[in-house]
């Protein structure tokens, strides 16, 4: 019975996926009643259920035709299809009465199914086809309100950049297949096949992969498509930010053995470090809530790709999934983001004793993480940022708490979050360590460079904030606003929006 499950889970999963697609096709037929959407929601709940059962009970690496089923592929399929299920269930009432109601559910199913199948593919031709179908479906979703020229312009921009990314990936894959003579990922990434690449070929392919992944991840200077895509219905943004923009980390994880190239890793690290700072800046200067979330996604995807550049692929996957769940939740509750005019205390209570405890606690955590690690560069960076995060969290939750009860509540929340973080960290590590090949650790200098760039950006930002009346602050502020605002006819801006922006600043 156990042996049978290793075959039955993949077959059952492919069958229920086919049923989901067939259900989506029915939605295009005008005579199918609108109430069929509820039946469709029930049908698309089957694939994530099968993926969850397989993830729990099936721990082997199974090949079935052009597809490979292991812990990583089951996890990605479960994540993408679960987000799709929740978003579609949310949209049953949210979009009821919209003229594109049926088309929305059909396209969303088509896009997410193609996305999940792409990362199951052991054959690179299937991966290219499914990933191309995902990008095409996403373009159609952005253009869902095709009678609105703003949506058409945003879809046109996204489609051009997606096509560029896909063609670059096509060149990289054709190059790999030409050198090795294989289309199967499992055969290309064997030591024998990897030895056939010369150093310049490996570097060139890796640089192509870097450009191919930073476009869908909305890294600078390709962030424009994600900013303009906010014209799409909010549930589409939830799926986009949760399950599609993080494809760059999945792609680099898939090609981890060939991406062991210090030159490409350094290019990715520096590029994404700058994108992280720009994303944070966009998030801080924007008054539009959805664009604030776009800036946050830009920064988070930059951190995810930095983890790939440091060879910590399992951490990048965990980051992508946790960020996806968090960002999908924020988008689905975007309608409740109401501005509160209640004045808050400008100055929080200061306690030297509790602040010193926070600093000491952060130092202890950072030192313990470093001493108990394997000594690689990613662990060094993690130790620094985890120690800083612990110190900051303690300061905000405990040191700035109001009275004894406030500090007790803050300390309790701090301890609870620490326990959840530890359990989640270990769960992802145990689940993914066997499915993901370890990457090459870059030189320790790269970690020092990363920390220097991020802290330098933070220092410069703090310096500008303290000089808000200066010309340099105005120049930086306006540049970030220009970077994050729509161009040409991408978005229609109502005059009241401009007045609100000026009065708030």
DSSP 429-494: HHHHTTTSPPPPPPPHHHHHHHHHHHHHHHHHHHHHHTTTTSHHHHHHHHHHHHHHS--TTSS---
Other beta carbons less than 10 A from residue 438's beta carbon: 14
pLDDT value of position 407: 75
Which is it for the CA torsion 498, 156, 321, 57, positive or negative?
Answer: positive
Task: Please say whether the beta carbons of 427 and 394 come within 8 A.
Answer: no
CA 399 to CA 393: how far, in whole Å?
9
* Ranges of each domain in the chain: 1-120, 121-336+444-505, 346-435
pLDDT value of position 2: 43
CA 156 to CA 457: how far, in whole Å?
33
pLDDT per residue over 424-458, tens digit each? 877 777 777 767 766 666 666 666 777 777 777 77
pLDDT value of position 497: 44
Sorted by sequence, the CB contacts under 8 Å of residue 415 that are 6+ apart come out as none
> Residue 348 has which token pair?
């929080």
> Residue 341 has which token pair?
């005019």
Give, for 63, the enclosing helix (H) or strand (E).
Answer: strand 62-64
Residue 323 Cα distances to 116, 187, 284, 296, 463, angstroms: 17, 32, 19, 10, 29
CA 103 to CA 244: how far, in whole Å?
19
Mean pLDDT lowest among 131-135, 259-263, 438-442:
438-442
Place 169 in a pLDDT band, splitting at 50, 70 and 90: very high
pTM: 0.82
Give, for 26, the enclosing helix (H) or strand (E).
Answer: helix 2-26
**What is the average pLDDT across 148-169?**
87
221 DSSP assignment: T
Distance linking the first and last C-alpha atoms of the chain: 66
pLDDT per residue over 6-64, tens digit each? 458 888 899 999 999 898 888 888 787 888 888 889 898 999 999 898 888 877 778 88
pLDDT value of position 228: 83
For residue 333, pLDDT over 60 is answered with: yes
Which is it for the CA torsion 300, 302, 305, 306, positive or negative?
Answer: negative
For residue 160, pLDDT over 60 is answered with: yes
pLDDT per residue over 91-120, tens digit each? 888 877 777 788 888 889 999 999 888 888
Task: Please say whether the beta carbons of 46 and 113 come within 8 A.
Answer: no
Task: Please say whether the beta carbons of 280 and 321 come within 8 A.
Answer: no
Q: Which of 432, 443, 155, 126 is nearest to 309 (CA)?
A: 443
pLDDT value of position 501: 46
DSSP assignments along 197-216, one per residue:
S-HHHHHHHHHHHHHHHHTT
> Residue 117 has which token pair?
């199948």
pLDDT value of position 339: 52
CA 26 to CA 243: how far, in whole Å?
24
Place 172 in a pLDDT band, splitting at 50, 70 and 90: very high
Other beta carbons less than 10 A from residue 167's beta carbon: 12
322 exposed, middle or buried (CB, 10 Å; 0-12, 13-18, 19+)?
Answer: middle
Tokens 């499915």, located at residue:
435
Per-residue burial over 395-430, b if 16 or more Cβ lie within 10 Å, else e, is bebbbbbeeeeebeebeeebeeeeeeeeeeeeebee
Sorted by sequence, the CB contacts under 8 Å of residue 375 that are 6+ apart come out as none
65 DSSP assignment: T
Task: Please say whether the beta carbons of 7 and 54 come within 8 A.
Answer: no
98 DSSP assignment: -
Tokens 């099968």, located at residue:
50
Mean pLDDT lowest among 62-76, 163-177, 308-322, 361-375:
361-375
């Amino acid at each position: 019975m156990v042996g049978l499950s290793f075959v039955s889970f993949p077959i059952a999963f492919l069958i229920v996926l086919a049923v989901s697609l067939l259900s989506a096709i029915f939605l295009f037929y005008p005579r199918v009643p609108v109430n069929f959407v509820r039946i469709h929601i029930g049908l698309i709940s089957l694939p994530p259920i099968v993926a969850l059962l397989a993830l729990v009970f099936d721990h082997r690496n199974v090949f079935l035709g052009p597809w490979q089923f292991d812990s990583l592929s089951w996890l990605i399929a479960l994540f993408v299809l679960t987000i799709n299920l929740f978003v579609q269930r949310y949209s049953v009432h949210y979009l009821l009465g919209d003229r594109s109601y049926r088309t929305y559910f059909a396209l969303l199913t088509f896009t997410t199914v193609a996305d999940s199948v792409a990362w199951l593919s052991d054959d690179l031709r299937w991966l290219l086809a499914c990933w191309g179908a995902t990008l095409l479906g996403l373009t159609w979703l952005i253009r869902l309100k095709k009678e609105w020229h703003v949506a058409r312009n945003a879809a046109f921009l996204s489609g051009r950049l997606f096509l560029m990314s896909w063609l670059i990936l096509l060149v990289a894959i054709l190059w790999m297949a030409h050198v090795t003579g294989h289309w199967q990922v499992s055969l290309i990434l064997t030591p024998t096949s990897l030895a056939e690449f010369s150093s310049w070929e490996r570097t060139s392919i890796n640089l192509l992969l870097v450009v191919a992944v930073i476009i869908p991840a909305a890294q600078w200077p390709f962030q424009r498509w994600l900013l303009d895509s906010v014209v799409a219905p909010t549930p589409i943004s939830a799926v986009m930010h949760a399950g599609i923009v993080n494809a760059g980390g999945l792609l680099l994880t898939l090609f981890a053995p060939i991406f062991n190239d210090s030159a490409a890793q350094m290019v990715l690290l520096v590029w994404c470090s700058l994108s992280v700072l720009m994303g944070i800046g966009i998030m801080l200067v924007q008054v539009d809530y959805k664009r604030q979330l776009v800036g946050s996604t830009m920064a988070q995807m930059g951190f995810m790709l930095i983890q790939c550049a440091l060879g910590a692929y399992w951490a990048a996957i965990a980051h992508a999934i946790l960020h996806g769940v968090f960002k999908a939740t924020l988008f689905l509750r975007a309608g409740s983001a109401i501005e509160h005019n209640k004045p808050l205390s400008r100055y929080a209570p200061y306690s030297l004793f509790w602040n010193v405890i926070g600093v000491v606690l952060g130092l202890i955590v950072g030192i313990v993480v470093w001493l108990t690690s394997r000594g690689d560069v990613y662990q060094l960076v993690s130790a620094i940022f985890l120690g800083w995060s612990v110190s900051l969290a303690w300061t905000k939750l405990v040191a700035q708490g109001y009275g004894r009860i406030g500090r007790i509540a803050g300390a309790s929340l701090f301890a609870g979050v620490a326990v959840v973080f530890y359990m989640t960290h270990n769960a992802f590590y145990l689940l993914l360590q066997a499915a993901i090949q370890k990457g090459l650790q870059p030189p320790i200098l790269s970690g020092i460079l990363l920390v220097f760039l991020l802290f330098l950006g933070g220092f410069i930002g703090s310096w500008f904030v303290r000089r808000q009346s200066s010309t340099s602050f105005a120049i930086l502020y306006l540049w970030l606003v220009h970077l994050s605002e729509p161009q040409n006819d991408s978005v229609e801006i109502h005059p009241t929006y401009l007045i609100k922006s000026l009065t708030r600043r």
